[in-house]
Amino acid sequence: MRCEEVELQLAEAADGSEIVDRSVLSHIDHCLRCQAEAVQYRKLLKVLRNLRTQVIEPAPGLLAEVLAGIESAGERRAIRSMLTGRRAAYVGGIAVAGSAAAAGALLLAKRRRGLKLAS
């Protein structure tokens, strides 16, 4: 078996999520090049797992900027809808209400996370 044939299966062999053919495993056991490649895959998987646990805090004022952007977009949409008819106004109102609900959910989630961290 050649390294080129094993390349596609190295990622599967590295994390153990897929059943890999014995001939592939045997090749990896005897080939330094493929062993090094498998080590790189394992390192990458470890880094990706660590990223799952990290929480990135948004920059101060980001939430206010997002809400202001949503509000101005809603206002522009409402003005356009007045010009194009009532049906478009209803759609714009629904969009603004949905955006406000999403922003409220984000704020609530942030507060809950802050409470959990403080405990």
Give yes or no: residues 48 and 76 share one domain.
no
Instruction: Show Cβ contacts of residue 70 under 8 Å, excluding neighbours closer than 6 positions.
Output: 96, 99, 100, 103
Give yes or no: residues 48 and 77 share one domain.
no
pLDDT by residue (tens digit) across 89-100?
566 667 767 777
Distance CA 2, CA 27 (A): 8
Give yes or no: residues 41 and 9 share one domain.
yes
The boundaries of the domain holding residue 114 are: 62-118
- Tell me if the pTM is above 0.95: no
Q: Please state the separation of Cα 55 from the chain's center in Å.
A: 12
What average pLDDT does this structure show over 25-43?
88
Residue pointed to by tokens 């790189």: 40
Give yes or no: residues 70 and 38 share one domain.
no
pLDDT by residue (tens digit) across 66-97?
888 888 888 777 766 666 666 655 666 677 67
Domain count within the chain: 2
What b/e sequence results for 72-93 when a residue is b if at least 16 CB atoms lie within 10 Å of its CB, and e otherwise?
Answer: eebeebeeebeeeeeeebeebe
Give yes or no: residues 24 and 67 share one domain.
no
Band of pLDDT at residue 119, cut at 50, 70 and 90: very low
Band of pLDDT at residue 61, cut at 50, 70 and 90: confident
Please report the pLDDT score of residue 32 as a whole number: 92
